[in-house]
């Protein structure tokens, strides 16, 4: 019989690797809660229209990469390819704006895109991110970027990462700039790739983040979006720069940065690694002041970011980010079948006061169990044989220094409690 294997673009997170995931997740939870962000969890699949309306019909995500199917009632459903749209949908559906004028939310979860698997990015991948609704002032942008910087710093990544920042202007600014950019690119249209020619029609701003050296050369003399800023756009960016400088968060202005989703406005940003290859984005986001209204809610400003967890973990490993193995505190060796109920009871009691305890359901020899305890890095062993059962005791052994003593079963909890103190 053939072995069933995981599908292309998916992978299992095995126990040793999952320890690293937990460490990253604990950093995310801690930093977000410190900054007043509350966790939100949304369904893994949604109506397809949610993503086509928010992300954009012409984007690669919607046109090529989504896992979409018709439900039995004919409704088109999609495995979520990104999370901002789902969070906005939930924000509208549950009237979260009525609970507080500012809603700060964060999330962690799997996403799905049918794209070519690459290092640090699979077809099922995981992101964390934050969203803030209600404020359109630049200090909200600064807060969001500061949370991103704080998480990356806790992961040990800020020394080898650059914060790229841009302002892609208000709707009027972008409309005028798109016209100017199309006018500039028109003579070069036949020199553009098929992808960029498609973007020329749908959203020429997307051509600015091309990886093609030929197209980058063409764009060197292209008009700059900053030439089309309104006074409000310019003031927003200048204040944001001032706030970031005040928090000692280094950045550089990159007028070619537009991000890949159609809903962004004004502030966009990316943290890029200097030690990754071409796919160097660690974390990115921006402002989306019109998205809530597009999805049927009241006009509400919003800003957020997202980061791929696989890519972060990959580079954190390079930076000697080691996961601590969850080593047991105590290995309980029961050598007599009559004592199993005693071993299980004492183990349960020890776990309830905070100790990590392992028992052996294979009923192996003491030598085999001690070997297993040492292999797991266990510090202490409790041994229950026939003589200990008769004496209502248990043998304690320190597996590091070899000391051993007999303890009454009724005193085990107090003994370990005193030992830790």
Q: What would the pLDDT profile of 268-306 be if each residue is shown by its tens digit? A: 999 999 887 767 889 999 999 989 999 999 999 999 999
Burial class from Cβ neighbours inside 10 Å (0-12, 13-18, 19+) for residue 343 reads: buried
Q: What whole-number distance in Å separates Cα of residue 56 and Cα of residue 63?
A: 9
Beta strand 103-112 pairing with 76-79: unpaired
Q: What percent of the chain has pLDDT over 90?
A: 69
Handedness of CA 359, 360, 361, 363 (dihedral sign): negative
CB 120 within 8 A of CB 311: yes
User: Which pLDDT belongs to residue 30?
Assistant: 96
Q: What is the pTM of this model?
A: 0.85
Q: What whole-number distance in Å separates Cα of residue 307 and Cα of residue 242?
A: 25
Q: Is the pLDDT confidence value at 266 over 80?
A: yes
Higher pLDDT pick, 414 / 16:
414
Q: 330-420: what CATH class?
A: alpha beta
Q: What whole-number distance in Å separates Cα of residue 60 and Cα of residue 396?
A: 62
Q: Percentage helix, strand, coil, to 5, in the chain?
A: 45, 20, 35
CA distances from 37 to 33, 90, 140, 304 (A): 5, 16, 13, 12
Q: Would you mind telling me the total number of residues written for the chain in this entry?
A: 421
Confidence of residue 88 (pLDDT cuts 50, 70, 90): very high
User: Which pLDDT belongs to residue 262?
Assistant: 66
User: Which pLDDT belongs to residue 279?
Assistant: 74
Q: Is the pLDDT confidence value at 57 over 80?
A: no
Q: What would the pLDDT profile of 236-253 be if each residue is shown by its tens digit? A: 999 999 999 999 999 999
Q: What would the pLDDT profile of 23-48 be if each residue is shown by its tens digit? A: 999 999 999 999 999 999 999 999 99
Nearest to 237 by CA among 279, 191, 268: 268
- Give the mean pLDDT of 191-201: 86
User: Which pLDDT belongs to residue 415?
Assistant: 95
User: Which pLDDT belongs to residue 321?
Assistant: 55
Find the helix or strand (DSSP H, E) in which 305 lies: strand 302-308
Q: What would the pLDDT profile of 335-360 be if each residue is shown by its tens digit? A: 999 999 999 999 999 999 999 999 99
The alpha-helical segments, DSSP class H, found in 220-365 are: 231-246, 291-294, 309-318, 340-352
Average pLDDT, rounded, for the chain: 91
Domain limits, CATH 3.40.50.800, in the chain: 330-420
Q: Give CA angle at 85 (79, 91), nearest 5°.
A: 120
User: Which pLDDT belongs to residue 202?
Assistant: 79
User: Which pLDDT belongs to residue 394?
Assistant: 97
Angle between helix axes 15-34 and 309-318 (nearest 10 degrees) is: 110
Residue 24 φ/ψ, nearest 5 degrees: -65, -45
Confidence of residue 314 (pLDDT cuts 50, 70, 90): confident
Q: Is the pLDDT confidence value at 260 over 70?
A: no
Name the one residue in this structure whose structure tokens are 């209502």. 392
Q: What whole-number distance in Å separates Cα of residue 166 and Cα of residue 147?
A: 18
Q: What would the pLDDT profile of 92-116 be if each residue is shown by its tens digit? A: 999 999 999 999 999 999 999 998 8
Name the one residue in this structure whose structure tokens are 């950093």. 27
User: Which pLDDT belongs to residue 111?
Assistant: 96
Q: Would you say domain 15-170+230-318 falls under CATH 3.30.930.10?
A: yes
Q: Is the pLDDT confidence value at 380 over 60?
A: yes
Domain limits, CATH 3.30.930.10, in the chain: 15-170+230-318
């Amino acid at each position: 019989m053939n072995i069933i294997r995981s599908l292309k673009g998916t992978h299992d997170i095995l126990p040793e690797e999952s320890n690293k995931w937990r460490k990253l997740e604990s950093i995310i939870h801690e930093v977000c809660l410190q900054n007043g962000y509350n966790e939100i969890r949304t369904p893994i699949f949604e109506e397809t229209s949610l993503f086509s309306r928010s992300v954009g019909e012409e984007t690669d995500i919607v046109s090529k990469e989504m896992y979409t199917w018709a439900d039995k009632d004919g409704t088109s459903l999609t495995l979520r390819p990104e999370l901002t749209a789902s969070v906005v949908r939930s924000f509208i559906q549950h009237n979260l704006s009525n609970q507080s004028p500012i809603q700060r939310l964060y999330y962690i979860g799997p996403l799905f895109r049918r794209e070519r698997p690459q290092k640090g990015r699979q077809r099922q991948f995981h992101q964390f991110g934050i969203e803030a609704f209600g404020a359109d002032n630049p200090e909200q942008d600064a807060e969001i970027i500061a949370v991103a910087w704080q998480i990356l710093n806790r992961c040990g990544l800020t020394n080898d990462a650059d914060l790229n920042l841009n302002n892609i202007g208000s709707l009027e600014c972008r409309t005028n700039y798109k016209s100017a950019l199309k006018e500039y690119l028109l003579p070069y249209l036949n020199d553009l790739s098929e992808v960029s020619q498609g973007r020329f029609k749908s959203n020429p701003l997307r051509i600015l983040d091309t990886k093609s050296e030929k197209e980058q050369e063409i764009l060197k003399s292209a008009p700059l979006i900053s030439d089309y800023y309104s006074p409000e756009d310019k003031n927003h960016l200048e204040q944001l720069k001032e706030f970031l400088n005040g928090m000692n968060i280094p950045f550089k202005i990159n007028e070619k940065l537009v991000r890949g989703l159609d809903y962004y406005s004004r502030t966009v940003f990316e943290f890029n690694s200097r030690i990754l290859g071409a796919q160097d984005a660690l974390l990115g986001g921006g402002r989306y002041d019109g998205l809530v209204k597009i999805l049927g809610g009241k006009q509400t400003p919003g800003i957020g970011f997202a980061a791929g967890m696989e890519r972060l973990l990959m580079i954190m490993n390079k930076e000697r980010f080691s996961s601590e193995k969850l080593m047991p505190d105590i290995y309980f060796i029961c050598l007599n079948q009559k004592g199993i109920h005693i071993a299980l009871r004492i183990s349960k009691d020890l776990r309830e006061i905070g100790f990590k305890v392992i028992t052996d359901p294979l009923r192996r020899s003491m030598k085999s169990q001690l070997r297993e305890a040492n292999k797991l890095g266990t510090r202490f062993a409790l041994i229950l044989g026939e003589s200990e059962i008769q004496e209502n005791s248990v043998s304690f052994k320190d597996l590091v220094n070899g000391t051993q003593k007999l303890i009454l079963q009724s005193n085990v909890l107090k003994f370990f409690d005193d030992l830790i103190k």
